Structure 1
Amino acid sequence: MNAYKMKTELFFGFRAVEHLSEMPYRNLLIITDGFLESSGALAKLVQHLPAGARYETYSNVRPDPSQELVDEGAAVLTRVRPDLLVAFGGGSCIDAAKAMLLSACEGGMERPYFLAVPTTAGTGSEVTNFAVVTRGSDKVVLIDDFLAPDGALLEADFTRTVPPAVTADTGMDVLTHALEAYVSSTATSFTDAMAVKALRIVCTDLPAAFRDGMAMRSRTRMIEASCIAGIAFTNAGLGINHSLAHALGGRFHVAHGRLNAVLLPYVIRFHLGRSDCREAYERLAVELGMADADELLTRICALRADLGIENSLSELGCIDAARFEAELSAIAEAAQHDRCTPTNPCAVSKQDLVNILRDAFAGR
C-alpha cells in the first residue's frame, strides 16, 4: 500500500506575510540567525506579528547546526514555552528549529503551533519531516512526522537579497530534491506530478533568479518550487546524491546545495549505466520535453555551468586530495548507511559509492 501525506498548511502568494498578523497567538519564540537579525529582515517579519503579541528571539543558528546548538535552543524553548514557534531563515535554521522542538517536547513541553518562514528557495524544509543535524563529523538525518511544521509561509520578498551564489546552490538543491523524488524506488503518480512541476519551474526560473535578484516573479516561482519538491521527497524519499552530500558536508563544510550540484551528474551517470535504473530517467526526460535521459543529463550539466558551479569536488578548493583519499572509505560507509539511501532507485555497494566519489573528485 502507498500513502501520500500533507500535514503542513501553506500560505503563499502576494503579500503572504500578512497572514502572520491574523494568527491567534500571543507568546512567540522566533528562531533565526544573526545575519537575518542584523540585516533588518527580522524587523520586517516582526512588523506583521499579531497585535499585542510578545516575542523573544533566538538568533544563534549557524550553518550545519550542531547537536550542542540544538540543546541550547531546546533549553530556550523550554523556558519560553511559546504558543507559536516561528523558524525564520534557510534550511539550517528550519532544521535546527525542528530538532529543538523535538528535544523540548520529549522533555515534557507541550507542542506549540510551528510556523516555518523560509528565506531561501532550496531545502523545502518548511514542509518536510526531515531535519539534518551535525554530530561530530557526521550529518545525521532525522526523519519523523513530528518534525513537519504545522504551517509554512512562503513570502518571496524575504529571498530578494540572497546572493547569486546562494541562489544557485539552493536552486540546484530544489532540482536534486525533485529529481531524486521522481526516480525514487517508492515514487508514486502523486509524487511524480509534484516532482515534474518543480523541475519545470527550476529549468525556467532558476537562471532568471540567478541573473537578477529583483526578478520577483521568478523568485516567487522558485520558493513555490522548493516547497513542491519538499512535498514530493517527503512522500517519495531521496537517494544517494543526498547521502553522499551529507557524508561529505559533515567533514568538509561545503554548502549542501553546492555539493548536491557537483555530485549530481556523476550520480546520474552511475544510474544510467544500470538497466534497473535508466527507465525512470527516460520517463522523466520525456515528461520534461526532452528526447531521452542523455539529453536530460546534458541539460543539467549546462544549467550547472550557467550558474557558475564547479565541475568536480577538487575544483571547490576546500577538499584536500590527501585528506579526501584518507577519508574516502569512511565517507562511502556513512553514505551507505544514510537514511536517504534506502529509497535510491537501485541498491548500491560501498564500492559503488567510492567509485562515484572518485569520479566526482577527478571530474571524469
Structure 2
Amino acid sequence: MQGFKLTTELFFGSQAINHLEGLTYRNVLIVTDGFLESSGMVAKMAQHLPAGARYQTYSDVKPDPSQELVDAGVAVVERVQPDMVIAFGGGSCIDATKAILYFAHEHGMDKPYFLAIPTTAGTGSEVTNFAVITRGENKVVLIDDFLAPDGALLEADFTKTVPAKITADTGLDVLTHAIEAYVSNAATPFTDALAVKAASIVFEDLPVVYRDGLAMRSRARMIEASCSAGIAFTNAGLGINHSLAHALGGRFHVAHGRLNAILLPYVMRFHMSEPKYREPYDRLAHDLGMADADELLARVIELRECLGVENALSDLPQFEPAAFEAELSGIAEAAQHDRCTPSNPRAVSKQDLVNIARDAYCGRR
C-alpha cells in the first residue's frame, strides 16, 4: 500500500502576507539570519503580525546550521515560550527552526504553532518533514512528521532581492528535488504530477528570474514550484544526488544547491546506463514534452551552463585535489548511509558512489 500526505496548510497568491494579520497568536519568536534582520526584511514582515502581538528574534542562523546553533536556539525558545514560531529565511533558517522545535519538544516543551515563510525558491523545506543539520563534518538528515510546519506562507515579494547566483543554486535544487522524487523507488502518480509541474516551471522560469530578479510572475511560479517539489519528495523520498551533496557539503562547505546541480548529470548518467533505471527518466522526459532521457540530460546541462554553474567539482576553489582524494572514501561511506539513499531507484555500493563522485570531480562524461 502507498500513501500521500500534506500536513502543512498553504497560503499563497497575491498579498499572501496579509494572512498573518488574522492570526490569534501574541507571543512570537522569529528565527532568521543576521542579514534578513539587518536589511529590514524581518521588520517588514513583522508589520503584518496581529495587532497587539509582540515578537523577539533569534537571528544567529548561518548556512548549514550546526548542532551547536540549534542547541542555542533551543535555549532561546525555552526562555521565550512563544505561542507561534516563524521561520523566516531560506532553507537553513527553516531547517534550523525545525530542529530547534524538535529538540525542545524532546526536552518536554509543547510545540507552538509553526509557520514557515521562505525567502528563497529552493529547498521546499516549508512543507517537508526533513531537516538537515551539521554535526562535525557530517550533515545529518532528520526525518519526522513532527518537523513539518503547521503553515507555510509563500510570498514571492520576499524573494526578489535574492542575488542571481543564489537564485541559480536554489532553483537547481528545486529541479534536483523534482527529478529525484520522480525516479524514486517510492514514487506515486501523485508525486509524479507534482514533480513534473515543478520541473516544467524550473526549465521555463528559472532563466527568467536569473536574468531579472524583478520578474515577479516568474518569481511567484518558482516559489510555488519549490513548494510542489518539496511535497513530492516528502512523499516519494530523494536519492544519491542528495546523499552525495550532503556528504560533500559537510566537508567542503559549498552551497547545497550548487553541489546538487554539479552532481545531477553524473548521477543521471549512472542510472541511465542501465535500461531498467533509464526508463523513469524517459517517462519524465515524455511528460515534459521531450523526446527521451538523453534530451532531458542535455536540457539539464544546458540549463546549468545558462546559469553559470560549474561542470565539475574541481572547478570550485574549495576542492583541492589532495583534500578531495583524502576525503573520498569517507564521502562515499557517508552517502551510502545517508537517509536519502534508500529511496534511490538503483541499489548502490560504496564503490559506485566513489566512482560517481570522482567523475563529478574530474568532469568525466
Counterparts of 1:110 and 1:141 in 2: how far apart (Å)? Answer: 23
**For residues 301-316 of structure 1, what are the structure 2 equivalents within 5 Å?**
301-316=301-316
2:323 is aligned to 323
Counterparts of 1:280 and 1:291 in 2: how far apart (Å)? Answer: 13
**For residues 266-305 of structure 1, what are the structure 2 equivalents within 5 Å?**
266-305=266-305
2:134 is aligned to 134
Aligned: 1:243 with 2:252: no
Counterparts of 2:156 and 2:274 in 1: how far apart (Å)? Answer: 40
Counterparts of 2:291 and 2:160 in 1: how far apart (Å)? Answer: 35
SS in 2 for 1:276: helix
1:350 is aligned to 350
Deviation at 1:276, TM superposition (A): 2.3
1:147 is aligned to 147
Q: Deviations over 1:94-126 (max 9, x none)?
A: 000000000111111111110000000000000
1:340 is aligned to 340
Q: Deviations over 1:285-335 (max 9, x none)?
A: 000001110000000000000000000000011111101001100000000
SS in 2 for 1:85: strand
Decide whether the 8 Å contact of 1:265 with 1:297 is kept in 2. yes
* Runs of at least 4 residues off by over 4 Å: none
Q: If the length of structure 2 is used for normalisation, what is the TM-score?
A: 0.99
1:166 is aligned to 166
Counterparts of 1:113 and 1:46 in 2: how far apart (Å)? Answer: 16
Counterparts of 2:197 and 2:258 in 1: how far apart (Å)? Answer: 22
Question: What is the aligned residue count?
Answer: 364
Aligned: 1:157 with 2:161: no
1:2 is aligned to 2
1:122 is aligned to 122
Report the AA paired with residue 274 of structure 2: R
1:182 is aligned to 182
Report the AA paired with residue 254 of structure 2: V
Deviation at 1:157, TM superposition (A): 0.4
Give percent identity, aligned residues only. 74
Counterparts of 1:274 and 1:112 in 2: how far apart (Å)? Answer: 48
Aligned: 1:208 with 2:238: no
Runs of 5+ unmatched residues, structure 1: none
Report the AA paired with residue 154 of structure 1: L
Report the AA paired with residue 338 of structure 1: D
**For residues 92-103 of structure 1, what are the structure 2 equivalents within 5 Å?**
92-103=92-103
SS in 2 for 1:126: helix
1:49 is aligned to 49
Counterparts of 2:38 and 2:157 in 1: how far apart (Å)? Answer: 17
Counterparts of 1:359 and 1:205 in 2: how far apart (Å)? Answer: 29
SS in 2 for 1:235: helix
**For residues 27-38 of structure 1, what are the structure 2 equivalents within 5 Å?**
27-38=27-38
SS in 2 for 1:75: helix
Counterparts of 2:347 and 2:276 in 1: how far apart (Å)? Answer: 10
Deviation at 1:40, TM superposition (A): 1.1
Q: Deviations over 1:149-191 (max 9, x none)?
A: 0000000000010000000000000000000000000000000
SS in 2 for 1:300: helix
Decide whether the 8 Å contact of 1:276 with 1:346 is kept in 2. no
Report the AA paired with residue 214 of structure 1: L
Deviation at 1:64, TM superposition (A): 0.4
Runs of 5+ unmatched residues, structure 2: none
SS in 2 for 1:181: helix
Q: Deviations over 1:120-140 (max 9, x none)?
A: 000000000000000000000
